[in-house]
Amino acid sequence: MGDGLLMDGPSEKVLVDVAPENLMACSECDALYQAVAPEPETLIVCERCHHVIARPRRKAGMTVISLAFATLVLVVAATFLPFLSISVAGVENSASLIDTALAFSEGGLAFLALATVALIILIPTLRMLLILYVLVPIVFDRPPARRAKSAFRMSIALKPWSMAEIFVIGCAVALVKIVDLADVAFGPAFWMFSALVIIVTLQERLLCSWSVWNALEQPQS
Amino acid sequence: MQLVGMERAGTASVLTARGSGLVTCRQCTRVWPMATEICGRCGTKLRSRDDLSMQKVWAWWLTGVIAYVPANLYPMLETRALFDTQDSTIVGGAVDLLLHGAPVVALVILIASVLIPVGKFLAIAYLAVTVGRRAQTRNADRHKLFEFVEFIGRWSMIDVFVVAILSSLVQLSSLATIKPGPASLAFAISVIATMISAQSFDSRMIWDTGFPPKAPQA
Ligand SMILES: [Zn+2]
Ligand SMILES: [Zn+2]
C-alpha cells in the first residue's frame, strides 16, 4: 500500500466545527473523514476497511483516453476476425466472436446469445465510449459534456459486466479441451483480446473515479 | 495529504457518516445532511443504508441457488462425433479433462464452476445472516470476504464462454459437432443472479453494530 494514509483521531468535537462540505466518507463502510484535496500520486485508503477511496495520478487522463481508443479499435476489429481455428482430416472451421454469440441462437438459447454479445462486445464498447465522452472534454480543459455525470455513473455501473478478459481465459480452456480431437490454433482475434486484457487492467489502475468527480465539479481546475 | 478520521470521544469506535446524522454518496464520497435525497455533486440517489438490501440479496441468492441445480444435472455440452454422441455435465467435463491429462485446466473449470459458485452461496448467506448483529468483532474479516466475493463472481462465466466457443468452433459437418446443452443457460442465470445478489449487498451494514442512528438534523 506504500503511502497509505493513517488517521489520527480528533474527538467528536471536531465535527461540530466542520461543515458537511469539508467532510467525506468511505463508500464501503461509512467511516467519516475530513475531506482532502486531490493531490496526485497519493493513495487514499480507508483506515477502517482498507478500501482504496482514491488514487489520483498526474496526467492519467490522457493515458486513459488513449487506452480507451485502443480498446475500442481492438474490440471492433476482433469481433469479426477468427480467434480459434480447427482442422480435422481436411475439414476446417474457424470461429469469430460473432459466430460464438450466434452459437446459442440455434438451440433455443437466444438469451445466452444476447448475453454473450452483450458481455464481450457491447458492454466493453459502450463503457469505453462513455469514458471517452466524459474524459475528453475534461482533459482538454473544456466544460464537461452534457449529462457527463450520468454517463460516468453508467460507466461505473457497467464495470463488472464487461467481461472481455474472462473470454480470453475461456478461449484457452476451450483450446485445451479439444486439442486431442483436432488441430487447433489461435487466430488474430485471440491475440488482440489478450492485448485487451493488459490494456483494460492498466486503464482500471489509472482511472480514479474520485478524481473524475472532482474534475466534473470544478471544470476550470 | 492526510486523511483525518473521526472517533467517538472516549471510545475506540470510528465515527460514521450515519452516526453523525449525515448520508454518504457512494459514488463521489461527499456527505450530506441525512434528509438529502440526491447528491448535489454527482447526482447519485442517496441512501444512508439500503433498507431493501437484504431482501434483494436473498431473492437473487435464491434464484442463483435454484438455477445451480439444473446447471449441474443437465449437460453443458452435447458432443456428436462420427459414431457416438456424448453429453457432458460440468463435473463430468472436468473429470474428462483430468483423464485426458489436462489436470490444470480441469482444476480451472472445477474452481470456476463448482468451488466459486458454491463458495459464493455460502459466503453471501453467512454475511447476510450475520449482518446487523450486535457486538460484531470480525467486521474487517467479513468485509474482506465480501470484497473477495464481489471480485471473484464474474470469473464463473468462463464455462459459459467455453460452451459458446466450442459450439461455434466445432461444426465439422459429419465429423464432429458440439451443441450447447440446457445446463449452459441455467449456469449463466445462476452466475448472473449471484453477481446481482452480491452487488445488492450494502457493505456498510457489515460495520453497523446496532447503534441507532442519530435523528436526522434539519
Ligand atoms: Zn471504509
Ligand atoms: Zn455524489
B112 CA: distance to closest CA in chain A (Å): 11
Q: How far is CA A50 from CA A32, A197, B57, B99, in A?
A: 13, 26, 24, 43
pLDDT along chain A (221 residues), means of 10: 36 54 89 83 88 88 93 89 87 84 70 85 94 93 89 94 89 85 88 90 90 77 40
Using CB atoms, which residue from B42, B100, B172 is nearest to A91? B172
- Over 70: is that where the pLDDT of B60 sits? yes
Q: Write down the pLDDT at residue B97.
A: 83
Between the CA of A174 and the centroid of ligand 2 the distance, in Å, is 43
User: Sorting pLDDT into bands at 50, 70 and 90, what band is B134?
Assistant: low
- Over 90: is that where the pLDDT of B79 sits? no
Q: Write down the pLDDT at residue B217.
A: 45
List CB contacts of A136: < 8 A, sequence separation 6 or more. A65, A142, A145
Q: Write down the pLDDT at residue A215.
A: 87
Hey, what CATH class is B51-207 in?
mainly alpha
Do A166 and B154 count as a contact with CB atoms less than 8 A apart? yes
Do A166 and B16 count as a contact with CB atoms less than 8 A apart? no
User: Sorting pLDDT into bands at 50, 70 and 90, what band is B20?
Assistant: confident
Between the CA of B195 and the centroid of ligand 1 the distance, in Å, is 21
Using CB atoms, which residue from B16, B27, B168 is nearest to A31? B16
- Over 50: is that where the pLDDT of B4 sits? yes
> With contacts defined as CB-CB under 8 Å, which chain B residues touch A83?
165
Do A48 and B207 count as a contact with CB atoms less than 8 A apart? yes
Report domain extents, chain B: 1-48, 51-207
Between the CA of A45 and the centroid of ligand 1 the distance, in Å, is 8
What cell was used for B95?
A: 473429470
List CB contacts of B89: < 8 A, sequence separation 6 or more. B72, B73, B74, B75, B76, B183
Strand (E) or helix (H) holding B2: none
Do A170 and B207 count as a contact with CB atoms less than 8 A apart? no
Q: Which amino acid is at A176?
A: V
Q: Does residue B88 sit in helix, strand or coil?
A: strand
B 52-91: CB under 8 A from A? 81
Q: Does residue B135 sit in helix, strand or coil?
A: coil
- pLDDT tens digits along B178-215: 888 899 999 999 999 999 999 999 999 988 875 544 44
**B216 interfaces chain A, CB cutoff of 8 Å:** no
Q: Does residue B85 sit in helix, strand or coil?
A: strand
Q: Write down the pLDDT at residue B132.
A: 67
User: Sorting pLDDT into bands at 50, 70 and 90, what band is B58?
Assistant: very high
